[in-house]
Amino acid sequence: MKKLLLIGITLFMTGLSNAQVQEIKPIPQIVVSGEGKIKVTPDQAVITVGVENTGNDAADVKTKNDVAIDGIIKYIKKMKIATTDYQTQRVSLYKSYDYQKKKNTYTASQNIIITLKDLSKYDELIMGLVESGVNVIQGVDFKSSKVKEYESQARIQAVQNAKTKAADYASALNQKVGKAILVSDNSTTHYPRPVYGAMKMDSESAAPARETLAIGEIEVTANVTINFAIE
């Protein structure tokens, strides 16, 4: 009985192995990468501003910050910016020890991120924020409200670019490009950021040094790797 069972298992494994060998027949293929780029004029700005106060009394510096932030938020509302387009990013209150003066100092700070969807209001918004109490401008990010649409266009370009490369290689080999076997998306969306740095103004100053708003362009890219069968 054991001998018959052993023969049956052996026959099954032999048959399975032959079937597998037949199924794993290698497919001649070519592997290429493609890239798509869409240059876009941004129509939005994400502005990070803040308030920072330093003093010898924790409660006093916090109060100064709270008063300034209250004025800033009221100004943002006055500019008719939707509540969904501005948000507190960071609030901090920390103590430092001055070894020369042998006493503690306290620094309170708070940042607010504002998404400005009408760039024509940029100068007015920045000047008004400073007059309302902002004394730190962290930077500006330029973005597009149609980024999903542009990403789709970039992906199509990337595939077309990969197909062109595959056709060039296949032609040089006197072969033809077949169907796509495997597609790998290697895209990472990157927005170049024009950073102005943390520009801090004196509380007595009426306005910061004026900066010319250079919107420029942002680049939406897509990268793909495709395995094509070749005939």
Name the residue type at position 190.
H
Among 51, 53, 70, 69, residue whose Cα is nearest residue 61: 53
Q: Kindly tell me if the per-residue pLDDT of 209 is higher than 50.
A: no
Q: Which CATH architecture has domain 44-143?
A: 2-Layer Sandwich (3.30)
Among 129, 110, 144, 114, residue whose Cα is nearest residue 47: 114
SS (H, E, C) 11-27: HHHHHHHHHHHHHCCCC
Task: Say whether pTM exceeds 0.85.
Answer: no
Q: Give the model confidence (pLDDT) of 30-44 as tens digits.
A: 999 999 999 999 999
* The CATH number of the domain covering residues in 26-42+145-191+217-231: 3.30.110.170
**pLDDT at residue 218, rounded to an integer:** 87
DSSP states of 37-88: EEEE---EEEEEEEEEEEES-HHHHHHHHHHHHHHHHHHHHHTT--GGGEEE
For residues 104 and 58, is the Cβ–Cβ distance under 8 A? no
For the chain, the domains span 26-42+145-191+217-231, 44-143
Q: Which two tokens stand for residue 66?
A: 């709270």
